[in-house]
Amino acid sequence: MPSVDNIISEVQPNSTNSSKFRHQMGHISRQSAVFFAGTVFTAAAGYLFKIYLARVLGAEALGIYALGMTIVGFLGVLNGLGLPQAAVRFVSTYFATGRTELLGAFLVRGSLLLMLSNLIAGGALLLIGPWISIRFYHAPALKMYLWLFALIMLLGSLNTFFGQVLAGYKDVARRTVITNFIGSPLMMMLTLGLIGSGMGLWGYVFAQVVSGVVVLMLLVAMVRRLTPKSARSFSAARPLEKQVISFCVAVFGMEFLSFLMSQTDSTGCLRPDHSAVGKSDILSYDRRFARSRRTRTSRPHVSDVNQMDFGTNSSAGRRGDDVRVRVDAYLWS
């Protein structure tokens, strides 16, 4: 394996490569700074917001919300189909290599598949949700909120997909601004107003739906702006590539197993009838879990930043710019 000195010596004689490399690293650094700032802002504001919700809504309402989101999380793994993760990989590749027809096919077909899968999952939620609420969770009050949770599931799936498309376009900063600096504060302000008017848990869940709609509109507008015009007019009959389908299947399997491992304990504990765990214990568990997640936000989150440079490396490799790819791989490692 060549050493870093050998790699750098290959790059130094070519001032063009060096200039492109510095420009790309500057772009990645700016995107990373915005992403990290958004993560810190959301974590800090979310912590204070959760304290407010715990005091105003109480343990029973938050327990019902946690049960509803558990169902949404399970169905979200099934109806996501691995497409959001595939968007980062294949959007960046298609965009960097100029294959606009495949890019347009992936965007439109991916969106349609997500909408169809979420409509099916939403129908299943409304159909069997009441039975789960009464027979399994022993929380009859959850039935009233099922249609709102179905909307949250649909909006969350589409927002994740289009957010990952922006990452494929190497524009994590704009995605962070929309989701973290616009969507989260909007949801919090709407919640404060609706709960203050006496709507309680209805206000909290409805605020998430409204903010989700706003975020979706902004993400779609930004994706449309960044998508080449030639990719907007494509043959709708063109299917997805086989490698896209294989990638989605692999991601789907990993996400499903990860969800089962993470939700096994909470599904059995979050029952508002005191038969398993008390409501105060539920809140204590949720707070400890939230603290354990916040400690991980102090580490630099490089996955999205690494994905931003994927398309550039793909195009560089196809052009034979092997030195550039090797330098990037060494520095990121």
List the chain pLDDT tens, one digit each, 333 residues.
555 455 445 545 455 666 766 766 766 777 788 888 888 988 999 899 998 988 898 888 888 898 888 888 888 777 778 888 888 888 888 888 888 888 888 888 888 888 998 999 888 889 988 898 888 888 888 889 999 999 999 999 999 999 999 988 888 888 999 999 999 999 999 999 999 898 888 999 999 999 999 999 999 999 999 888 877 765 544 677 788 888 888 887 887 787 677 655 555 554 444 444 444 454 454 455 444 444 444 444 444 444 455 545 554 444 445 444 444 444 444
What's the Cα-to-Cα distance from 41 to each of 30, 38, 202, 291, rounded to whole Å? 17, 5, 26, 15
Give the burial string for 70-106 (b: 16+ CB within 10 Å, else e). bbbbbbbbbbbbbbbbbbbbbbbbbbbbebbebbbbb
Cα separation, 227 vs 106, in Å, equals 12
- Residue 19 maps to a domain: no
Q: How many residues does the chain have?
A: 333
Q: Which domain holds residue 86?
A: 37-299
| Overall domain count for the chain | 1
Give this prediction's pTM.
0.74
Element (H, E) at 303: helix 303-308
- Residue 23 maps to a domain: no
Residues ≥6 apart with Cβ < 8 Å to 124: 75
- Residue 216 maps to a domain: yes
- Residue 17 maps to a domain: no
- Residue 134 maps to a domain: yes
- Residue 68 maps to a domain: yes
- Residue 307 maps to a domain: no
6 DSSP 8-state letter? H
| Helix (H/G/I), strand (E/B), else coil: 216 | helix
Residue with tokens 């909007």: 186
Give me the long-range contacts of 282-291 (CB less than 8 A, separation at least 24): 282/59, 282/62, 282/63, 282/66, 283/54, 283/59, 283/62, 286/50, 286/62, 286/66, 287/50, 290/47, 290/50
